[in-house]
Each structure stands twice: as structure tokens, then as C-alpha cells.
Amino acid sequence: MSFSRADRSLVGQWWWTVDRWMLAAVVALLFLGAILVLAASPAVATRIGMDNFALAQRHFMMLPLAALAILGGSMLSPRQVRRAGVVLFLMFLTLTFLTLFIGAEIKGATRWIALGPFSLQPSEFLKPCFAIFAAWMFALQKTNPGVPGNLISVLVFLVVIGILLKQPDLGMTAVVTATWAAQFFIAGLPIFWVLLLVGLGIAGLVGAYFMLPHVTERVDQFFNPESGDTYQIDRALEAFQNGGLYGTGPGEGSVKLVLPDAHADFVFAVAGEEFGLVVCLLLVVLFAFIVLRALARLLGEHNHFIILAATGLVTSFGLQAIINMASSLHLMPTKGMTLPFISYGGSSIVAIGLGIGFLLALTRRRFPGSVEA
């Protein structure tokens, strides 16, 4: 597919201005994710009493939607990104709020809203959209001195994490907080406040350790493997070792037979066992490439909103990938978090697609002046 540079159609313009390297990396991730879901999910589906390929089928039904979200999102102009982001933010904030009342309870948390055969996790969409909203507020503070953007951002942030903690969804809270803090930091938050926020963050984590029993348990396990059941992480590490350089071959692994979340939280271990170190390193490189390339491009960017919004989107994407991989490798306590595009994730893959779509939109090459965000 190619278009003339003179092509002024929407698609033509998109093709010539979008960051095609990043797009290629995203497509590669989607492709690898599809293969890994095929490898890991049947064992899990069988174990939880579903049809062999039921999970894989759902994933493949979501893939076109995710592609659509990526394409659709990336075709928007920065201003459209801002508007879409803010509208969707308000919509999904409402939906997330509603989960507290009408949510389906799964594994002790009410994060999902049932939509026929599917369930939707509004907070997944809330995550990229809130990054857009917060970026807009931080940018407003700078461009329109009359608007108390920072204050609004802080207040809305508190509302968002209030709802997330009520669900409860600790992982999402952590990612949203880290993303928002990164944006605030890039927006030029004075060092005093940075230190204060870091302090609060640490206090929050320590508080979670002491207040929430399951957090205590996981952290204790990490620092002192003898203290508890390290079954999952032991199996995950064995899987990597078992896989070696080139892996046991697709479908030949055994870790997916024993790990409950082989298709989601521990998909990286399945990749390590069946496809080996080479493919795992390729995954790391792809994630690193997307994150670092996006950040590098922002160094040439002069628009506050674009810098902050893209920072937020890429941070939440990169952080989620790092947390997932580091957990599987026993670099940090295990935290239920999916590997973007690689894990089976139902509706979340569409949400991540939307975020990446927005990121691609914001990193498109523009003629100076075309930005009016």
C-alpha cells in the first residue's frame, strides 16, 4: 500500500505523516500476541471449563476492533485527540463509577460491566483518556494563566483513584498514579513537589503493604521466598530455563498447564518456554523501541499538550509492559497486570489500541502551525 505524497486524502496524509516504524512495531506486537494467545490460552480455557479455543476466539474477535482503534485513533489531529479523549474520559469515568453499583463481580472485584457475552472493563479505557484529560489541564495551566489546570488535574485525579480503589483495582490505581505523576513531572512540577509526590507514592506503597493482606503476602514472598507459596514464580522461572535460547517449540511448553494466568499475567513465561530467549528479547526490544522512540520524538516537540499527552500514553503503556515482564522474571513482587497486546485481555486490548492510536496521532509529523491544541 502506498500513496502519493501529493495525496491529500485523509488516508494518504495519514500514511505519509504517521510514524511507520512505530506502527510496524505495534503490528508486530499484535501478531506475536495472536500467536502466544493461541499457544497459552487453550490450556487455561480447558482448565476453567471452557471450550479449547474459546479464549483464543475472543481474542481474535477483539483484534479487528483493536486495529480499528489504532487506525481510527491515529488518524485524528491533536485537537481531535484532545476532544475525543476528554469526551471518552467523561464517558468512561461515569461507567467506571457505575461498576461500583452494577458491576459484575469477578475474583472479588467489581471492575466489569457485562455486555452480552462480553464484559467491558471501563477503567481500561479510562486510563488513556485520563492521560489526555490531565495533559490538557497541565497544558492549560501554562498557556492560559487564568485556568487553574494543575488544581483541576489534582482534583480529578483524586476522584479517579478514589473510584479505582473502591472497586478495588490496585494495579490500575498504581499505573494511573504513576502515569499522572510522570505527566506532572514533565509538565515542570517544582522539585519540592516532585519529592513530596515521590514520598507520598512510597508512603502509599508502604501503606498498601501494611493495610492490605494480599499485598503484604506478595511482597513478603518476593523478599523472602521461604515465607510463603512461591509456586507461580518458581514455575515461571523454570519455564524460562526450560525454554532456553530457542524454546521448546509452539505448544510444547508445560508451564501453561500449571499457571492459572498463563494467558495473561504469565504470558511472558509461556513465550520464554515455547519460543525461547530470542523471541522474548524481540518482545523486550519491540516495547523498548515503541517507548523510547515516542519519547525521543517528543524532544523535538514544542506543544505542551502533545508532549504531556504523549508522555502519559507512552508511560502507561511502557510501565504496564515493564511491570508484567519484571514480575514474570522475579524482579519485583507479582502484580496482576497484562502485557500490552501480548496477553489475552478481552476488551482491554481495544483500550490499549485506542491509547496507541492516540499516541500515533500525537507523534505524526505535522507542518508547523497545524497544531492548535
Partner 1 sequence: MIGRRNRHQPAQPDFQVQRAQPVINPIALQLEPDGVQRRALEISHHRLILGLGLFAMAFLVIAVRLAMVTLLPAENDGPSIAAAPAAARADILDRNGVVLATSLTTASLYANPQNIRDPQAIALALNEILPELSVETTAAKLAGDKTFVWLKRNLTPKQQMAVIRLGDPGLQFLHETKRVYPQGNLTAHVVGFADVDARGLAGAERSFDDVLAAGQQPLSLSIDVRIQHILHEEMSRAIADFTAIGGAGMVMDIATGELLAMVSLPDFDPARPGTASDDARFNRATLGTFEMGSTFKLFNTAIGLDTGAVTLAGGFDATNPIRIGGFTIDDYKGKHRWLSIPEIIAYSSNIGSAKLADTFGAEVQKAYLQRFGLLAKSPIELAEVGVPQYPKNWKRINTMTIAYGHGISVTATQLVAGIGALANGGLLRHPTLLKRAAGEVAEGTRVVSEQTSAQIRQLMRLVVQVGSGKKANAPGYLVGGKTGTAEKITTQGGYNKNSRMAVFAAAFPMHAPRYAIVMMIDEPKPNAQSYGYATAGWVAAPAVGALVQRMAPLLGIAPIDDDAPEAQNPLVAMVENPQGAPASAAQIQPKSDASKEKQAKAQAPSPVATAPAPVQPATTGEIIFQAKPFVATPVSTGAALQPAPVAAKPFVPNEDPALAVE
Residues engaged in binding partner 1 (CB under 8 A): 2-5, 16, 47, 142-143, 182, 185-188, 225-226, 230, 233-235, 237-238, 240-245, 272, 276-277, 280-281, 284-285, 287-288, 291-292, 295-296, 298-300, 302, 304, 307-308, 311, 315, 318, 322, 325-326, 329-331, 365, 367-369, 371
DSSP state of 76: S
C-alpha separations of 125 from 115, 122, 132, 321 in Å: 15, 5, 11, 17
Half-sphere exposure of 72 (CA within 13 A, CB side): 14
Smallest gap from Cβ 127 to partner 1, in A, equals 18
Smallest gap from Cβ 87 to partner 1, in A, equals 25
- Name which of 8 and 302 has its Cβ closer to partner 1: 302
Smallest gap from Cβ 293 to partner 1, in A, equals 10
Smallest gap from Cβ 159 to partner 1, in A, equals 26
d(CA 254, CA 256): 5
- Name which of 8 and 226 has its Cβ closer to partner 1: 226
CB 352 within 8 A of CB 340: yes
Smallest gap from Cβ 312 to partner 1, in A, equals 11
d(CA 228, CA 217): 8
- Name which of 74 and 328 has its Cβ closer to partner 1: 328
- Name which of 317 and 344 has its Cβ closer to partner 1: 317
d(CA 46, CA 158): 41
Smallest gap from Cβ 4 to partner 1, in A, equals 5
- Name which of 135 and 160 has its Cβ closer to partner 1: 135
Smallest gap from Cβ 314 to partner 1, in A, equals 8
Residue-wise DSSP of 311-324: HHHHHHHHHHHHHH
- How do strand 109-115 and strand 104-106 relate by DSSP bridges? antiparallel
- Name which of 101 and 367 has its Cβ closer to partner 1: 367
| Phi, psi (degrees; rounded to nearest 5) at 119 | -125, 140
3-state helix, strand, coil in the chain (%, to 5): 70, 5, 25
Q: How many residues does the chain have?
A: 373
168 burial level (CB within 10 Å; 0-12, 13-18, 19+):
middle
- Name which of 47 and 83 has its Cβ closer to partner 1: 47
